[in-house]
């Protein structure tokens, strides 16, 4: 089948492999993007893709914490100029305050929730759109109500954000470790908290890819199967937060760091601003446009 240049470039962006390698993989996979990515990994040309979606929409990730309740929220707009305006952060925080109070199930429910002045979040955003002159939309949020304590980190003026729900007492040592862990997440971008969270399906697929990768290196099947065990350990270390080496001291694992401070992580949220959205030449992504369609007169 004919492989388009657009598909080749999309695979190249996803895997970091060369153009000709991507074209060959797509040809061998009959145009199946996921299968082609697996083929590139099996051939040792590309690493596992964690978060390969293009990042294009403008906006910010913000975190608002009130007592033991915290919200990590992404608010989108059309231009970087608006995203950097302090008023835009205020809008994100006002929406987050409503999430704290109302605990809505999703963005659609949030739009119907009441602000402090009695107006709905949808009406509030409409009023801000009228002033700013750009579309504004809440894309997603996570709300944590902690029995321990919360920690957050916002990087690069809202380009990415982390929120942790920690177990145990908020001692000075525990809070310092929690802060270090938020930096760890921002740097290493783990997909899971523990290896127990990785589904059997994901593990089996990873083993298949790693085995084929070893066999493509010329290893006999029996040896390749043994090599998989060591390589799957590395997969856990790269993708599971508590299995990772601490970025400030790689002689320690995150699990050891937490144990030393007599604390542990209940769960974490990690947002990259605009992740998965594509911006058309002069407009926000279609997803954001859909979110604000209801606000148009």
Averaged pLDDT for residues 81-109? 96
Residue 88 shares a structural domain with residue 123? yes
190 inside domain: no
- Residue 180 confidence (pLDDT) above 60: yes
Residue 137 shares a structural domain with residue 43? no
For residue 279, what pLDDT band results from cuts at 50, 70 and 90? low
288 inside domain: yes
**Residue 85: which domain range?**
58-161+273-293
How many independent structural domains does the chain possess? 2
Q: Which pLDDT score is estimated for 285?
A: 43
199 inside domain: no
pLDDT one-digit tens code per residue, 202-234: 999 988 888 888 888 888 888 888 888 888 899
45 inside domain: yes
Segment (H or E) for 75: strand 69-77
Q: Which pLDDT score is estimated for 18?
A: 74
For residue 160, what pLDDT band results from cuts at 50, 70 and 90? very high
pLDDT one-digit tens code per residue, 41-79: 887 776 544 433 333 379 999 999 999 999 999 999 988
Residue 70 shares a structural domain with residue 99? yes
Q: Which pLDDT score is estimated for 56?
A: 35
Residue 75 shares a structural domain with residue 155? yes
Could you tell me if 261 and 174 are in contact, meaning their C-beta atoms sit under 8 angstroms apart? yes
For residue 173, what pLDDT band results from cuts at 50, 70 and 90? very high
For 48, 129, 243, the CA distances from 37, given in Å and listed in that order, are 8, 41, 25
**CATH assignment of the domain containing 16:** 1.10.8.10
Residue 19 shares a structural domain with residue 100? no
CA distance 201 to 113: 39
183 inside domain: no
For residue 278, what pLDDT band results from cuts at 50, 70 and 90? low
Residue 39 shares a structural domain with residue 109? no
Return mean pLDDT, the chain: 87
pLDDT one-digit tens code per residue, 3-52: 888 888 888 877 777 778 888 999 999 999 989 888 888 877 765 444 33
CA distance 285 to 48: 26
Residue 87 shares a structural domain with residue 155? yes
Could you tell me if 98 and 110 are in contact, meaning their C-beta atoms sit under 8 angstroms apart? yes
CA distance 53 to 216: 28
Predicted TM-score (pTM) of this structure: 0.73
Residue 148 shares a structural domain with residue 109? yes
pLDDT one-digit tens code per residue, 111-152: 999 999 999 999 999 999 888 888 899 999 999 999 999 999
Higher pLDDT, 56 or 261: 261
Taking each continuous run of H as one helix and of E as one strand, the counts in the chain are 12, 8
13 inside domain: yes
Least confident of 14-23, 241-250, 258-267, 288-297: 288-297
Among 12, 28, 49, residue at a domain's last position = 49
Residue 150 shares a structural domain with residue 19? no
Q: Which pLDDT score is estimated for 41?
A: 80
Residue 64 shares a structural domain with residue 42? no
Residue 35 shares a structural domain with residue 72? no
**CATH assignment of the domain containing 156:** 3.30.479.20
Averaged pLDDT for residues 82-90? 94
Within a 10 A sphere around the Cβ of 69, how many other Cβ atoms?
16
247 inside domain: no
Residue 70 shares a structural domain with residue 147? yes
């Amino acid at each position: 089948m004919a492989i388009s240049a657009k598909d080749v470039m999309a695979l190249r962006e996803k895997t970091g492999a060369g153009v000709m390698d991507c074209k060959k993989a797509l040809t061998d996979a009959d145009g199946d993007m996921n299968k082609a990515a697996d083929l590139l990994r099996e051939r040792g040309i590309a690493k596992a893709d964690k978060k390969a979606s293009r990042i294009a929409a403008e906006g910010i990730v913000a975190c608002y914490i009130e007592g033991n309740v915290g919200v990590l929220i992404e608010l989108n707009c059309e231009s970087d100029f608006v995203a950097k305006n302090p008023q835009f952060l205020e809008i994100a925080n006002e929406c987050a305050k409503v999430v704290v109070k109302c605990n809505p199930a999703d963005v659609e429910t949030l739009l119907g929730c009441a602000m402090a002045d009695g107006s709905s979040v949808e009406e509030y955003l409409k009023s801000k759109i009228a002033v700013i002159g750009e579309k504004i939309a809440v894309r997603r949020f996570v709300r944590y109500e902690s029995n321990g304590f919360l920690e957050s980190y916002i990087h690069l003026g809202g380009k990415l954000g982390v929120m942790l729900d920690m177990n145990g007492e908020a001692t000075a040592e525990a809070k310092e470790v929690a802060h270090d862990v938020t930096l760890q997440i921002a740097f290493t971008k783990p997909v899971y908290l523990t290896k127990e969270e990785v589904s059997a399906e994901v593990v089996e697929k990873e083993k298949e890819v790693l085995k084929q990768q070893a066999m493509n290196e010329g290893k006999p099947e029996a040896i390749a199967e043994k090599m998989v065990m060591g390589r799957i350990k590395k997969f856990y270390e790269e993708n599971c937060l508590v299995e990772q080496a601490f970025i400030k001291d790689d002689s320690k694992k995150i699990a050891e760091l937490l144990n030393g401070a007599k604390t542990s992580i209940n769960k974490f949220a990690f947002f990259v601003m605009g992740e998965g959205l594509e911006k058309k030449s002069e407009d926000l992504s279609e997803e954001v446009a859909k979110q604000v369609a209801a606000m148009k007169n």
